[in-house]
Amino acid sequence: MVYGEKLIAQTLHDLGVRVIFGLPGLPVIDIAQEGMNLGIRFVAFRNEQAAAYAATAYGYLTGRPGICIAVGGPGVLHVMTGLPHATVNCWPLLVLGGSSETHNGGKGAFQELDAISLLTPHAKLAIRPPDPDTIPKFIKDAYRAAMYGRPGPAFVDLPANLILGTFDVERKKMMALPEAPKSMAPDNKIRDIVNALRGAKAPLLVVGKGAAYSRAETQIRTLVDRAGIPFFPTPMAKGITADSSPYNFSAARSTAMKQTDIVLVLGARLNWILSFGLPPKWSPTVKIIQVDFAADELGKNGGDPELSVAGDIGLVVDQILKQIGTWKWQERNSDYYKALQMAKLRN
């Protein structure tokens, strides 16, 4: 016999969860309590909205779903805000929501709310275990959904009777999930990219937060140092490359965007932050090569669908490094490079 709350906490612990964010309340507080007994840290908040935001940040930093617990009804409504936030940012988030007892379903029970219907449009997976036996599998499925593929939010609805009941469930230790699957680009596409870079008059690298999520710091620093191509990071990508790098032209961003003819964008979307990759901020003839883990992004706005590739930033930059060899961009005397230098000094 096992308490539902214990089964839930053990499942989370098995999956490698060591921190839970949330707002304590019945019935989910018992999950937090059991979690703490297992050595999981519980970080309490005063509004589920903030707890969900914290959990998404944790997910971004660790590459594994940040966990957030919330009571049913208003708690789930407050936490709801965090789901589209996780979707937009592609950050892994797993919300566990308490809910009223199933046998009072449809009657207007305390904090009754069909959280599954509410959150299905906003989650990669929103599920409710139909019985105690399925609790571990359902939590694992949601955890995996949040983390694998394009990361995002997942939700598990846990009715009070499943949390607070005791059940004759045989407890099996679960294996933690390996890190999210990563992909590489086809070799011929890498060759095309390298040729494009080599042929560039005014090359540019843009480093985005996808590079941070991929932990591609080493590869990108190697590429920058070896190839000597001017770059700038997006606001969320600060720290991947050194601010002090001679190739860092953050201070010449507008000039770089306007004058580059071939740009390699590593893990950044071509949205307003990058002026959509479109004129007037960028040249009408620029070729923008996107490297993104989400194939859906390729060719969007100003992206070049022929040259862009889907894959893990670190692995793809490794592929590029292998083919680019010791080549170094030489045009230190070009108008482009001078313009960048001048703008950098000026700003």
- Subset of residues 310 to 339 that bind a copy of itself, contact rule: CB under 8 A: 310-312, 315
d(CA 15, CA 282): 45
Per-residue string for binding with a copy of itself, 217-256, x by CB under 8 A?
Answer: ----------------------------------------
Instruction: Give the binding range for a copy of itself (CB under 8 A) out of 10-18, 147-155, 195-203, 213-221.
Output: 147-155
Task: Among 62, 166, 183, 195, indicate the residue that binds a copy of itself (CB under 8 A).
Answer: 183
**Judged by CB, which is closer to a copy of itself: 216, or 270?**
270
Burial of 102 (0-12, 13-18, 19+ CB in 10 A): middle
Asked if 341 is part of the footprint of a copy of itself (rule: CB under 8 A), the reply reads no
Asked if 195 is part of the footprint of a copy of itself (rule: CB under 8 A), the reply reads no
One-character DSSP codes across 270-299: -SGGGGGG-TTTS-TT-EEEEEES-GGGTT
Query: How near is the Cβ of 145 to a copy of itself at its closest, in Å?
Result: 7
**Judged by CB, which is closer to a copy of itself: 77, or 169?**
77
Instruction: Give the binding range for a copy of itself (CB under 8 A) out of 32-40, 132-140, 227-235, 240-248.
Output: 132-140
Contacts of 11 (CB under 8 A, 6+ apart): 135, 136, 139, 140, 174
Residue 22's SS3 state is: strand
Asked if residues 259 and 200 have their Cβ atoms less than 8 Å apart, the reply is: no
Bridge partners, residue 233, by sequence: 207
Asked if residues 240 and 314 have their Cβ atoms less than 8 Å apart, the reply is: no
Task: Among 301, 323, 334, 341, indicate the residue that binds a copy of itself (CB under 8 A).
Answer: 301
Per-residue string for binding with a copy of itself, 255-274, x by CB under 8 A?
Answer: --------------xxxx--
Asked if 26 is part of the footprint of a copy of itself (rule: CB under 8 A), the reply reads no
SS (H, E, C) 39-85: CCEEEECCCHHHHHHHHHHHHHHHCCCEEEEECCCHHHHHHHCHHHH
Asked if 279 is part of the footprint of a copy of itself (rule: CB under 8 A), the reply reads no
